[in-house]
Amino acid sequence: MSNNNQSSIEYLIKEFSEILGPISTNPMQDLLLVDAIKQAKAMHKQEIKISYRCGAAEVGMIEINKSEQYYNETFGK
C-alpha cells in the first residue's frame, strides 16, 4: 500500500523501479520517459481536482478554485 503523501503515479514509478531494476536507455529515451511521467502526473492531478469538484457539487459546496487548494494541501506538491 502506498504512503498517504505519495500519489499513485509516484507509487507506480517506485514499484516499477524496484521490480525492473536499472534499465539501460539512451538520452532520448530518458527524455521521453521523463516527459511521459510528468504528463501522467499532470493528468492524475486533473483527475483528482475534477473528482473533488464533483464531490463538492454533490453536497452543494461548489467552490471550483478550492480544488487546487485541496490538491496542494493533500499532496503537497
Total number of domains constituting the chain: 1
Cα 39 to Cα 73: distance, rounded to the nearest angstrom: 21
In a domain, 35, yes or no: yes
The whole-number pLDDT of residue 8 equals 80
In a domain, 49, yes or no: yes
In a domain, 5, yes or no: no
The whole-number pLDDT of residue 39 equals 92
In a domain, 43, yes or no: yes
- Taking the CA atoms of 73, 64, 8 and 13 in sequence, report the sign of the dihedral they define: negative
In a domain, 17, yes or no: no
Q: Could you tell me the residue range of the domain that residue 62 belongs to?
A: 26-75
In a domain, 4, yes or no: no
The verdict on pTM exceeding 0.75 is no
Burial of residue 44 (number of CB atoms within 10 Å: 0-12, 13-18, 19+): middle
The whole-number pLDDT of residue 10 equals 81
